[in-house]
Amino acid sequence: MRWIGGRESGNVEDRRGGGGRGLAIGGGIGTIVIAIIVTLLGGDPSEILNGSGATSENPTMPRAGQAVGPQADDAAAQFTRRVLGSTEDTWNRVFAKDGGQYRPSTLVMFRDRTQSGCGVASAASGPFYCPGDGKLYIDLSFYDELSRRFNAPGDFAMAYVVAHEVGHAIQDQMGIMDKVQAAQQRVSEVEATRLSVRLELQADFLAGVWAHNAQGTDFNFEPGDVEEALRAASSIGDDRIQKQTQGYVTPDAFTHGTAAQRVYWFSKGLKTGDINQGDTFTSREDANL
């Protein structure tokens, strides 16, 4: 992607220099929500659940927003801030069209482990949005994993990851997460899992809506950019991950949707740019994928 405008977001807490521990705060429903529905890319939810009761703080942990010295992944950090800035400006415009106001979320960059409102965040959990504190969390080493483990390199693939998590923040702001959580309490475990999948697919759709509306304003697509994002969406489908890790597919254990479903909804958002066309919960457009 070739940047033609845009800015770096200031809504970032850089905790990369903290030595990797931190304080786990909370637990309860916030921890359960993040472990079940918001952990991206097949990360290990036990990393969050097992750390939710910790109460000791590492004194070397930097304070929120504290500056750190030069880091090996500064280029990735700068790119992430720029993508976040683009999502903020884009969603401000999209919300304003309908008379609404977008509330941007803070993104926390960390290394190894840090505290979150949903318990301990770790590199193993993957990037996620925490409804407990309304923040996005990412260990920047995940970009390397995206390239090596999932064979999805490229800057637009990285941007898709950030935009997907911002999509969860939008769902929270619009009350969709609360409705899904309430509905999950009233249905079977199988249906609750299905709702989690539909929530993730909608976040993919919203990532596509961002890309559609930011293209030509903040960046221009270069050859191969769209393919990078589609490859990332496909590579992190539940069926692909299960096939890679256990050798077979278990549909009842899906958390984010199949590769085909993720590609479909991201592509629809990218094509239409219309937030009103992303009802993944009642739509059966992807039923045969």
d(CA 26, CA 233) in angstroms, rounded, equals 31
pLDDT in tens, 216-225: 999 999 888 8
Most confident of 17-31, 163-177, 255-269: 163-177
d(CA 95, CA 42) in angstroms, rounded, equals 31
Alpha helix segments (H runs only) across the chain: 28-33, 46-49, 74-97, 142-148, 155-173, 176-184, 189-214, 225-235, 238-246, 259-272
Return the half-sphere exposure (C-beta side, CA atoms, 13 A cut-off) of residue 6. Answer: 27
| Residue 259 confidence (pLDDT) above 80 | no
Farthest CA pair distance, the chain? 53
| Residue 251 confidence (pLDDT) above 90 | no
47 closest CA partner among 109, 116, 143, 119:
119
92 pLDDT band, cuts 50/70/90, is: very high
d(CA 140, CA 126) in angstroms, rounded, equals 10
Domain map (residue ranges) of the chain: 2-277
d(CA 182, CA 33) in angstroms, rounded, equals 11
Q: 244 is written with which tokens?
A: 């890679």
d(CA 66, CA 61) in angstroms, rounded, equals 10
β-strand pairing of 12-15 with 2-3: unpaired
CA separation, residue 226 to residues 2, 140, 145, 168, 223 (Å): 13, 22, 19, 21, 8
d(CA 132, CA 271) in angstroms, rounded, equals 32
Considering only residues 252 and 171, tell me which one the structure prediction assigns the higher pLDDT. Answer: 171
pLDDT in tens, 237-250: 444 444 445 554 45
151 pLDDT band, cuts 50/70/90, is: confident
Q: 94 is written with which tokens?
A: 């999209």
β-strand pairing of 135-139 with 106-110: parallel
CA separation, residue 199 to residues 22, 92, 175, 279 (Å): 29, 22, 12, 10
DSSP structure string for 247-273: SS--GGG-SS--HHHHHHHHHHHHHH-
pLDDT average, residue stretch 92-106: 96
263 pLDDT band, cuts 50/70/90, is: confident
pTM exceeding 0.75: yes
d(CA 120, CA 45) in angstroms, rounded, equals 10
Q: 69 is written with which tokens?
A: 């010295």
